[in-house]
Amino acid sequence: MPRACGPALGSGQSYVQGRKVGPMLRFEVGGEDLLRSRFALSPLFELDGLLRRLAGLSQHRLPGPWLTRVTPSYRRLRQDPAFRAVLALHAPKEGAAFTAPPSQGLAQTIDDDLAAVRSTPLPQARAEIANYGPVTDDEAQAVLDSPDVVDRLADGLEQAWHDLLAPDWPQLRAICERDVVHRAGRLAQQGWLAALDGLHTRVRWRDNGIEVLRSSGDRTVDLKGEGLLLVPSVFVWPGVAVHHEDPWPKALVYPARGVAALGRQPPVDFPHLRG
Protein backbone atom coordinates (compact mmCIF):
# COMPACT_ATOMS: atom_id res chain seq x y z
CA MET A 1 0.00 0.00 0.00
CA PRO A 2 1.22 3.54 -0.64
CA ARG A 3 2.60 5.68 2.13
CA ALA A 4 1.11 9.09 2.80
CA CYS A 5 3.55 11.94 2.24
CA GLY A 6 3.77 15.45 3.57
CA PRO A 7 1.48 17.22 1.10
CA ALA A 8 -1.22 14.62 1.70
CA LEU A 9 -1.50 15.45 5.36
CA GLY A 10 -3.62 18.55 5.18
CA SER A 11 -1.09 21.25 4.42
CA GLY A 12 -2.03 24.32 6.38
CA GLN A 13 -4.22 22.46 8.87
CA SER A 14 -3.46 22.48 12.57
CA TYR A 15 -4.95 21.86 15.97
CA VAL A 16 -6.58 25.04 17.26
CA GLN A 17 -6.55 25.30 21.06
CA GLY A 18 -6.55 21.50 21.28
CA ARG A 19 -9.48 21.21 18.88
CA LYS A 20 -9.29 19.00 15.78
CA VAL A 21 -9.61 20.84 12.46
CA GLY A 22 -9.93 18.30 9.64
CA PRO A 23 -9.67 14.50 9.18
CA MET A 24 -7.33 12.65 11.51
CA LEU A 25 -5.12 9.56 11.65
CA ARG A 26 -4.75 8.24 15.19
CA PHE A 27 -2.12 5.80 16.44
CA GLU A 28 -3.36 3.96 19.54
CA VAL A 29 -0.40 3.73 21.92
CA GLY A 30 -0.29 1.10 24.67
CA GLY A 31 2.28 0.41 27.36
CA GLU A 32 4.31 -1.95 25.15
CA ASP A 33 4.26 0.62 22.37
CA LEU A 34 5.83 3.23 24.63
CA LEU A 35 8.63 0.80 25.46
CA ARG A 36 9.22 -0.07 21.81
CA SER A 37 8.81 3.37 20.21
CA ARG A 38 12.11 4.91 19.17
CA PHE A 39 13.78 7.48 16.96
CA ALA A 40 15.22 6.49 13.59
CA LEU A 41 16.90 8.03 10.55
CA SER A 42 16.08 7.24 6.92
CA PRO A 43 18.55 8.15 4.16
CA LEU A 44 16.26 6.76 1.46
CA PHE A 45 13.28 8.76 2.68
CA GLU A 46 15.41 11.91 2.35
CA LEU A 47 16.22 10.94 -1.23
CA ASP A 48 12.51 10.38 -1.82
CA GLY A 49 11.78 13.90 -0.58
CA LEU A 50 14.51 15.42 -2.73
CA LEU A 51 13.18 13.64 -5.83
CA ARG A 52 9.71 15.02 -5.12
CA ARG A 53 11.06 18.55 -5.15
CA LEU A 54 13.10 18.03 -8.30
CA ALA A 55 10.14 16.39 -10.07
CA GLY A 56 7.80 19.25 -9.19
CA LEU A 57 5.59 17.15 -6.91
CA SER A 58 6.13 19.46 -3.96
CA GLN A 59 4.99 23.05 -3.57
CA HIS A 60 8.39 23.79 -2.05
CA ARG A 61 11.48 24.02 -4.22
CA LEU A 62 15.16 23.77 -3.45
CA PRO A 63 17.14 26.96 -2.82
CA GLY A 64 18.47 28.40 -6.07
CA PRO A 65 22.18 27.54 -5.63
CA TRP A 66 21.35 24.01 -4.51
CA LEU A 67 18.95 23.50 -7.43
CA THR A 68 21.57 24.78 -9.86
CA ARG A 69 24.13 22.35 -8.48
CA VAL A 70 22.02 19.17 -8.68
CA THR A 71 19.98 19.86 -11.84
CA PRO A 72 22.63 18.60 -14.31
CA SER A 73 22.88 15.28 -12.45
CA TYR A 74 19.09 15.03 -12.26
CA ARG A 75 18.79 15.54 -16.01
CA ARG A 76 21.40 12.85 -16.67
CA LEU A 77 19.56 10.46 -14.39
CA ARG A 78 16.32 11.03 -16.27
CA GLN A 79 17.90 9.41 -19.32
CA ASP A 80 17.86 6.09 -17.42
CA PRO A 81 14.53 4.20 -17.73
CA ALA A 82 15.03 2.66 -14.27
CA PHE A 83 15.24 6.12 -12.71
CA ARG A 84 12.17 7.27 -14.62
CA ALA A 85 10.39 4.17 -13.32
CA VAL A 86 11.28 5.28 -9.78
CA LEU A 87 9.75 8.70 -10.47
CA ALA A 88 6.62 7.06 -11.90
CA LEU A 89 5.91 5.54 -8.47
CA HIS A 90 5.39 8.99 -6.96
CA ALA A 91 2.18 10.98 -6.82
CA PRO A 92 1.63 14.40 -5.24
CA LYS A 93 0.03 12.93 -2.12
CA GLU A 94 1.67 9.52 -1.78
CA GLY A 95 4.32 7.14 -3.01
CA ALA A 96 5.07 3.43 -3.23
CA ALA A 97 6.04 2.30 0.27
CA PHE A 98 8.61 -0.28 -0.78
CA THR A 99 10.81 2.33 -2.51
CA ALA A 100 11.24 4.24 0.78
CA PRO A 101 10.59 1.72 3.57
CA PRO A 102 10.67 2.80 7.22
CA SER A 103 14.06 2.85 8.90
CA GLN A 104 14.92 0.50 11.75
CA GLY A 105 16.99 2.83 13.91
CA LEU A 106 19.47 5.68 14.21
CA ALA A 107 22.35 3.73 12.69
CA GLN A 108 20.51 3.16 9.41
CA THR A 109 22.67 3.60 6.30
CA ILE A 110 21.78 3.90 2.64
CA ASP A 111 23.06 0.34 2.17
CA ASP A 112 20.59 -0.84 4.82
CA ASP A 113 17.77 1.02 3.07
CA LEU A 114 18.63 -0.37 -0.36
CA ALA A 115 18.88 -3.90 1.05
CA ALA A 116 15.36 -3.46 2.44
CA VAL A 117 14.13 -2.39 -1.00
CA ARG A 118 15.80 -5.37 -2.68
CA SER A 119 14.20 -7.75 -0.18
CA THR A 120 10.68 -6.70 -1.20
CA PRO A 121 8.70 -9.75 -2.38
CA LEU A 122 7.77 -9.42 -6.04
CA PRO A 123 4.00 -9.84 -5.43
CA GLN A 124 4.08 -7.00 -2.91
CA ALA A 125 6.00 -4.76 -5.30
CA ARG A 126 3.58 -5.57 -8.12
CA ALA A 127 0.59 -4.73 -5.91
CA GLU A 128 2.04 -1.32 -5.06
CA ILE A 129 3.12 -0.60 -8.64
CA ALA A 130 -0.45 -1.25 -9.78
CA ASN A 131 -1.52 1.87 -7.89
CA TYR A 132 0.50 4.07 -10.26
CA GLY A 133 -0.24 2.78 -13.74
CA PRO A 134 -0.44 2.94 -16.59
CA VAL A 135 2.76 4.90 -17.22
CA THR A 136 2.92 6.82 -20.50
CA ASP A 137 6.71 6.37 -20.69
CA ASP A 138 7.08 3.03 -22.51
CA GLU A 139 10.66 2.45 -21.36
CA ALA A 140 9.78 3.13 -17.73
CA GLN A 141 6.73 0.89 -18.02
CA ALA A 142 8.95 -1.89 -19.39
CA VAL A 143 11.06 -1.62 -16.24
CA LEU A 144 7.95 -1.79 -14.05
CA ASP A 145 6.72 -4.86 -15.97
CA SER A 146 10.06 -6.68 -15.85
CA PRO A 147 10.61 -9.77 -13.65
CA ASP A 148 13.59 -8.07 -11.99
CA VAL A 149 11.73 -4.81 -11.36
CA VAL A 150 12.65 -4.69 -7.66
CA ASP A 151 16.39 -4.87 -8.35
CA ARG A 152 16.16 -2.40 -11.23
CA LEU A 153 14.31 0.13 -9.09
CA ALA A 154 16.87 -0.36 -6.32
CA ASP A 155 19.65 0.24 -8.85
CA GLY A 156 17.95 3.45 -9.95
CA LEU A 157 17.63 4.61 -6.35
CA GLU A 158 21.25 3.76 -5.62
CA GLN A 159 22.51 5.78 -8.58
CA ALA A 160 20.27 8.71 -7.63
CA TRP A 161 21.62 8.62 -4.09
CA HIS A 162 25.23 8.82 -5.22
CA ASP A 163 24.57 11.50 -7.84
CA LEU A 164 22.16 13.75 -5.93
CA LEU A 165 22.35 13.39 -2.17
CA ALA A 166 25.42 11.49 -0.95
CA PRO A 167 27.70 14.58 -0.84
CA ASP A 168 25.21 16.46 1.36
CA TRP A 169 24.13 13.59 3.59
CA PRO A 170 26.68 14.14 6.41
CA GLN A 171 25.36 17.67 7.00
CA LEU A 172 21.71 16.68 6.66
CA ARG A 173 22.22 13.70 8.95
CA ALA A 174 23.80 15.99 11.55
CA ILE A 175 20.68 18.17 11.53
CA CYS A 176 18.45 15.13 12.09
CA GLU A 177 20.71 13.75 14.82
CA ARG A 178 20.64 17.08 16.62
CA ASP A 179 16.85 16.91 16.66
CA VAL A 180 16.98 13.40 18.14
CA VAL A 181 19.39 14.50 20.88
CA HIS A 182 17.03 17.33 21.81
CA ARG A 183 13.92 15.16 21.90
CA ALA A 184 15.62 12.23 23.60
CA GLY A 185 16.71 14.60 26.35
CA ARG A 186 13.15 15.80 26.84
CA LEU A 187 11.93 12.20 26.80
CA ALA A 188 14.37 11.20 29.53
CA GLN A 189 13.50 14.18 31.71
CA GLN A 190 9.77 14.62 31.16
CA GLY A 191 8.36 11.67 29.17
CA TRP A 192 6.75 11.20 25.78
CA LEU A 193 4.37 14.15 26.02
CA ALA A 194 7.32 16.54 26.29
CA ALA A 195 9.28 14.73 23.58
CA LEU A 196 6.38 15.09 21.15
CA ASP A 197 5.70 18.71 22.03
CA GLY A 198 6.42 20.94 19.06
CA LEU A 199 6.88 17.99 16.69
CA HIS A 200 4.45 19.57 14.23
CA THR A 201 1.30 21.68 14.36
CA ARG A 202 -0.64 18.73 12.94
CA VAL A 203 0.61 16.22 15.54
CA ARG A 204 -0.48 15.89 19.16
CA TRP A 205 -0.64 13.40 22.03
CA ARG A 206 -4.15 12.85 23.40
CA ASP A 207 -5.80 10.09 25.46
CA ASN A 208 -3.04 7.50 25.02
CA GLY A 209 -2.68 8.12 21.33
CA ILE A 210 -0.76 10.14 18.74
CA GLU A 211 -3.06 12.04 16.40
CA VAL A 212 -2.05 13.39 12.99
CA LEU A 213 -4.26 15.70 10.96
CA ARG A 214 -4.46 14.68 7.31
CA SER A 215 -6.33 15.57 4.14
CA SER A 216 -8.93 12.80 3.94
CA GLY A 217 -10.78 10.42 6.23
CA ASP A 218 -10.50 9.58 9.92
CA ARG A 219 -8.62 6.38 10.67
CA THR A 220 -7.33 4.61 13.78
CA VAL A 221 -4.23 2.40 13.71
CA ASP A 222 -3.44 0.02 16.57
CA LEU A 223 0.33 -0.27 17.05
CA LYS A 224 -0.19 -3.76 18.54
CA GLY A 225 2.70 -3.46 20.97
CA GLU A 226 5.23 -2.88 18.18
CA GLY A 227 5.74 0.82 18.88
CA LEU A 228 6.11 3.77 16.53
CA LEU A 229 9.19 4.96 14.67
CA LEU A 230 9.75 8.71 14.95
CA VAL A 231 11.87 9.87 12.02
CA PRO A 232 13.21 13.45 11.77
CA SER A 233 13.58 14.59 8.18
CA VAL A 234 14.87 17.50 6.15
CA PHE A 235 12.78 17.21 3.00
CA VAL A 236 9.43 16.39 4.60
CA TRP A 237 9.30 20.04 5.75
CA PRO A 238 6.87 21.77 6.08
CA GLY A 239 4.56 18.73 6.24
CA VAL A 240 4.59 15.34 7.92
CA ALA A 241 4.40 11.82 6.51
CA VAL A 242 3.32 8.45 7.87
CA HIS A 243 3.76 4.76 7.19
CA HIS A 244 0.62 3.12 8.56
CA GLU A 245 -0.06 0.14 6.27
CA ASP A 246 1.02 -3.45 6.82
CA PRO A 247 3.50 -5.09 6.46
CA TRP A 248 5.66 -2.07 7.23
CA PRO A 249 6.64 -0.85 10.69
CA LYS A 250 4.49 2.14 11.60
CA ALA A 251 6.36 5.43 11.34
CA LEU A 252 5.81 9.16 11.70
CA VAL A 253 8.19 11.35 9.70
CA TYR A 254 8.41 14.96 10.87
CA PRO A 255 10.56 18.03 10.09
CA ALA A 256 13.81 18.18 12.06
CA ARG A 257 14.28 21.26 14.22
CA GLY A 258 15.91 24.14 12.37
CA VAL A 259 15.34 22.64 8.94
CA ALA A 260 13.43 25.69 7.68
CA ALA A 261 16.82 27.40 7.35
CA LEU A 262 17.57 25.10 4.42
CA GLY A 263 14.94 26.97 2.45
CA ARG A 264 17.24 29.96 2.49
CA GLN A 265 20.64 28.47 1.66
CA PRO A 266 22.35 25.43 0.07
CA PRO A 267 23.76 22.67 2.30
CA VAL A 268 27.40 23.64 2.38
CA ASP A 269 27.86 24.00 6.11
CA PHE A 270 25.46 24.49 9.00
CA PRO A 271 27.46 25.09 12.19
CA HIS A 272 24.56 27.08 13.68
CA LEU A 273 22.24 24.10 13.14
CA ARG A 274 24.65 21.35 14.15
CA GLY A 275 25.65 23.06 17.38
The H or E element containing residue 24 is strand 24-28
Residue 84 has pLDDT above 70, yes or no: yes
What's the rounded Cα separation, in Å, for the pair 97 and 243? Answer: 8
Confidence of residue 247 (pLDDT cuts 50, 70, 90): confident
What's the rounded Cα separation, in Å, for the pair 220 and 223? Answer: 10
**Which span out of 6-20, 178-192, 250-264 was modeled with the highest average pLDDT?**
178-192
| Mean pLDDT of the 170-177 span | 94
Alpha helix positions (H), 163-248:
169-190, 192-196
Cβ count within 10 A of residue 174: 16
Confidence of residue 115 (pLDDT cuts 50, 70, 90): very high
The residue type at 7: P
- Range 203-207 contact pairs with CB under 8 angstroms and sequence separation of 24 or more: 203/240, 203/252, 203/254, 204/15, 204/18, 206/18
Measuring CA to CA, how many Å separate 113 from each of 49, 99, 250, 252? Answer: 15, 9, 16, 17
Confidence of residue 12 (pLDDT cuts 50, 70, 90): very low
Residue 2 has pLDDT above 70, yes or no: no
Task: Specify whether the CB–CB gap between 263 and 63 falls below 8 A.
Answer: yes
Cβ count within 10 A of residue 108: 20
Task: Specify whether the CB–CB gap between 240 and 212 falls below 8 A.
Answer: yes
Torsion of CA 22, 88, 234, 32, to 10 degrees: 60
pTM to 2 decimal places: 0.83
Read off φ and ψ for residue 253, nearest 5 degrees. -105, 125
Cβ count within 10 A of residue 181: 12
Q: Looking at residue 215, what is its pLDDT?
A: 63
Q: Looking at residue 86, what is its pLDDT?
A: 97
- pLDDT per residue over 124-153, tens digit each? 999 999 988 778 899 999 999 999 999 999
Considering Cα of 121, then 126, then 128, then 129, what sign does the dihedral take? positive
Q: Looking at residue 269, what is its pLDDT?
A: 40
Q: Which residues pair with 24 in a beta bridge?
A: 213
What's the rounded Cα separation, in Å, for the pair 121 and 249? Answer: 16
- pLDDT per residue over 197-243, tens digit each? 778 888 888 888 888 887 667 888 889 888 899 999 999 888 888 88
3-state helix, strand, coil in the chain (%, to 5): 50, 15, 35
| Mean pLDDT of the 179-190 span | 85
Q: Report DSSP state, residue 157.
A: H
Confidence of residue 14 (pLDDT cuts 50, 70, 90): very low
The strand ranges marked E within 59-187 are 90-91, 94-96
What's the rounded Cα separation, in Å, for the pair 5 and 243? Answer: 9
